[in-house]
Amino acid sequence: MNTADTGFSLDPRLAADTVVLTDLPLCRLCLMNDCRFPWLILVPRRHGVTDIDRLIPADREALWCEVDQAMAALRAVAPLDKLNVGALGNIVRQLHVNVVARRETDAAWPGPVWGAGKAEPYAPQALTDIRARLRNALSPR
């Protein structure tokens, strides 16, 4: 933990719905525990920030860089037809960016994933597998 993390804790609803993969320089990177969609959530470790434009410029730059990393990791581990990127936060106000691998055959296609039915948690082995593959895809080469 460095000074930038002071006061940060993951919103309890995000904590309940996700598993933590790793801390990137700015964001806590989480995997949504919903096997219907390979779905990453980036949460800047900045206390009290709810909107992207409230991050200082250096953090904003880091955020976009980490969104790029998340997209690359999903591309590496999941077949996908489309990437969806969204920062909404109308319900969970803690700033977070969703990066979701979409298939034309998935449960919500072509609608957004938000509010689409009920999450289906990964089976234990499948969760172990996708976490390992994502962590591997995120490792520096």
List residues binding a second copy (CB under 8 A): 50-53, 60-61, 64, 67-68, 71-72, 75, 82-91, 93, 102, 109-112, 114-115
Complex with a second copy: residue 74 or 122, whichever CB lies closer: 74
Distance of alpha carbon 56 from alpha carbon 90, whole angstroms: 21
Complex with a second copy: residue 5 or 68, whichever CB lies closer: 68
Which amino acid appears at position 103 of this protein?
R
Cβ within 8 Å of residue 118, ≥6 positions away: none
Terminal alpha carbon distance of the chain: 24
CB of 57 to a second copy, least distance (A): 8
CB of 15 to a second copy, least distance (A): 20
